[in-house]
Structure 1
Amino acid sequence: MSYDYSLIGKRIRKAREDHGITQEKLAEQLDVSNAYISKIERGKTPINLQRLSELCAILEKSTEYILSGTNSSTGDYLRNEIMMMLEGCSAEKIKLISQIIKPIIEFHED
Structure 2
Amino acid sequence: MGFDYQAIGNRIRKARERKGITQELLAESMDVSNAYISKIERGRTPVNLNNLDKICRVLETSTEYILSGTSTDSEDYMKNEIMELLEGCSPQKIRLIVQVIKPIVSYREDN
Report the TM-score, using the length of structure 2 for normalisation: 0.79
RMSD: 2.1
Counterparts of 2:2 and 2:98 in 1: how far apart (Å)?
27
Identity over aligned pairs, percent: 65
Matches within 5 A, 1:64-103: 64-103=64-103
Counterparts of 2:70 and 2:83 in 1: how far apart (Å)?
13
Report the TM-score, using the length of structure 1 for normalisation: 0.80
Call closer, same or farther: CA 1:17–1:91 in 2, change over 3 Å.
same
**5+ long unaligned stretches in structure 1:** none
Opposite residue 20 of structure 1, the aligned amino acid is G
| Count of aligned pairs between the two proteins | 110
Call closer, same or farther: CA 1:42–1:82 in 2, change over 3 Å.
farther
| 1:48 Cα deviation after fit | 1.1
* Structure 1: 4+ residue segments shifted above 6 A: none
Counterparts of 1:14 and 1:107 in 2: how far apart (Å)?
33
Residue 39 of structure 1 is matched in structure 2 by 39
Matches within 5 A, 1:57-68: 57-68=57-68
**5+ long unaligned stretches in structure 2:** none
| 1:88 Cα deviation after fit | 2.8
Residue 5 of structure 1 is matched in structure 2 by 5
Counterparts of 1:17 and 1:89 in 2: how far apart (Å)?
22
Matches within 5 A, 1:8-23: 8-23=8-23
Call closer, same or farther: CA 1:96–1:5 in 2, change over 3 Å.
farther
